């Protein structure tokens, strides 16, 4: 029997190519369509964010555009695009596979005669907890209403965490048996531990959305860490220095806006002593898995999917979001105890190898999709 899938694609933390690879490896025939956001919204973002500093203008426009892209109007526009695309193709597909919950071709009526599957890392209901602390979002309730219809009409819903699965079940009243958690894999080679690891007193942070990922909490915590351990360094990667309040920066902090070379990126992991990302909101946290593969202990927040990745007290620590004092104490404990740091790093490495593999991901998604089309 044919295994033909029409994929409605949305960029998802850079993992899309791994998802598609696992499907094609298992003989699924994919037709992939990227679902665009109307260009006029990017032009509006450019105009509204004008700044004589071209680099700052680009960053502000990008952030503005991302905020505008998650509104009910965009949801409906992208939905209409998908509906037209599906009907125009008129192909004999076995199922439609949607990446993300940002549009819904089955929004107003169930016209598809084949199974419809979604793959989700987060929900607006979960995002709302963070959004309401930073801005007024009048569109959130309308978005959740649209999202609920997507989940109700879906034949099967994959989630990347138990946290997101429970949100879809509880917040959107979806039947548990059609919401399937399926863990991400990790896409880098496992490393042998360097004898120099944990000696540099180096703290590594990677994250583009500095505020949401707890960057300012980390800077505040590092002030105490540096007083206690003057040789400690805080390395911030994928961070735009123009978005950081310079008054928050102190000695020992180094910023890398962007590192393209994968070897250099891996070297940063190899030289670090601990990985820290105390996010206020985090759909999953793939960087934790990468850090674990480099045998780094990890510190994250005790919310969202992070407790599903980090075992508190075993592979690292979990702290309350915004608790700079506790975060500083946990970092100091690891930097002053390299044996503890090393032991936690090894435990994290073993956990990543056992529970977070693309092979297992591929096997499970293949099994569930095959059941859905009765092969």
pLDDT in tens, 88-117: 887 889 999 999 999 998 876 556 778 999
**157 shares a domain with 11:** yes
Number of domains in the chain: 2
**148 shares a domain with 53:** yes
**306 shares a domain with 160:** no
Residues with Cβ within 8 Å of residue 24, at least 6 apart in sequence = 30
**174 shares a domain with 25:** yes
Is residue 83 one of the residues assigned to a domain? yes
Selection from 9, 145, 5, 130 nearest residue 71 by Cα: 145
**158 shares a domain with 23:** yes
**227 shares a domain with 92:** no
**361 shares a domain with 351:** no
Is residue 109 one of the residues assigned to a domain? yes
pLDDT above 60: residue 286:
yes
Predicted TM-score (pTM) of the model is 0.90
Structure tokens at 155: 């034949």
HSE at residue 355, side-chain half, CA atoms within 13 A, is: 16
pLDDT top residue among 28 and 107: 28
23: alpha, beta or left? (left if phi > 0; alpha if psi -120 to 50): alpha
**165 shares a domain with 58:** yes
Which residue segment(s) compose the domain that 340 sits in?
A: 202-355
8 Å CB contact between 279 and 304:
yes
DSSP 312: B
Is residue 212 one of the residues assigned to a domain? yes
What is the spatial distance between Cα 270 and Cα 45, in angstroms, rounded to a whole number?
39
**214 shares a domain with 83:** no
- For residue 271, give the CATH number of its domain: 3.40.50.2000
Is residue 267 one of the residues assigned to a domain? yes
The order of strands in the sheet holding 298-301 is: 253-256, 233-237, 202-206, 274-277, 298-301, 316-319
To the nearest whole number, what is the mean pLDDT of the chain? 87
| Range in 48-62, 154-168, 235-249 the model is least confident about | 48-62
| pLDDT tens column, 203-251 | 999 988 888 999 999 999 999 999 999 999 999 998 766 667 665 677 8
CA distances from 275 to 215, 222, 259, 294, 348 (A): 13, 13, 17, 10, 12
Query: How much is the average pLDDT of 145-156?
Result: 94
Q: What are phi and psi of 32, to 5 degrees?
A: -105, 125
């Amino acid at each position: 029997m044919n295994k033909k899938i029409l994929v409605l694609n949305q960029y998802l933390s850079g993992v899309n190519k791994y998802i598609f690879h696992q499907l094609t490896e298992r003989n699924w025939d994919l037709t992939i369509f990227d679902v665009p956001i109307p260009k006029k919204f990017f032009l509006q973002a450019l105009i509204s964010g004008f700044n004589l500093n071209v680099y700052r203008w680009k960053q502000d426009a990008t952030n503005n555009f991302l905020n505008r892209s998650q509104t009910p109007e965009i949801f409906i526009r992208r939905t209409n695009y998908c509906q037209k695309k599906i009907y125009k193709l008129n192909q004999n597909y076995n199922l439609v596979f949607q990446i993300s919950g940002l549009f819904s071709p089955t929004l107003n009526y169930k016209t598809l005669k084949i199974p419809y599957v979604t793959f989700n890392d987060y929900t607006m209901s979960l995002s709302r907890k963070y959004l309401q602390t930073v801005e007024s979002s009048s569109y959130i309730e309308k978005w959740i209403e649209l999202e609920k219809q997507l989940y109700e009409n879906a034949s099967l819903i994959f989630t990347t965490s138990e946290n997101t699965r429970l949100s879809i079940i509880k917040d959107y009243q979806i039947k548990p048996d059609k919401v399937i958690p399926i863990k991400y894999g990790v896409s880098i080679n496992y490393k042998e531990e360097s004898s120099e690891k944990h000696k540099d007193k180096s703290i590594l942070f990677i994250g583009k959305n500095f505020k949401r990922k707890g960057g300012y909490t980390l800077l505040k915590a590092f002030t105490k860490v540096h007083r206690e351990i003057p040789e400690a360094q805080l390395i911030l990667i994928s961070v735009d220095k123009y978005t950081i309040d310079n008054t928050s920066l102190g000695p020992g902090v180094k910023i890398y806006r962007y590192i393209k070379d994968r070897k250099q990126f891996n070297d940063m992991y190899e030289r670090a002593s601990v990985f820290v990302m105390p996010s206020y909101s985090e759909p999953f946290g793939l960087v934790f898995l990468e850090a674990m593969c480099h045998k780094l202990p990890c510190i994250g927040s005790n919310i969202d999917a992070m407790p599903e990745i980090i075992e508190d007290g075993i592979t690292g620590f979990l702290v309350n979001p915004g608790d700079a004092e506790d975060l500083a104490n946990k970092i100091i404990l690891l930097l002053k105890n390299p044996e503890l740091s090393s032991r936690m790093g090894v435990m994290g490495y073993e956990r990543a190898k056992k529970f977070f593999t693309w092979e297992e991901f591929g096997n499970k998604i293949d099994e569930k999709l095959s059941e859905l089309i009765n092969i």
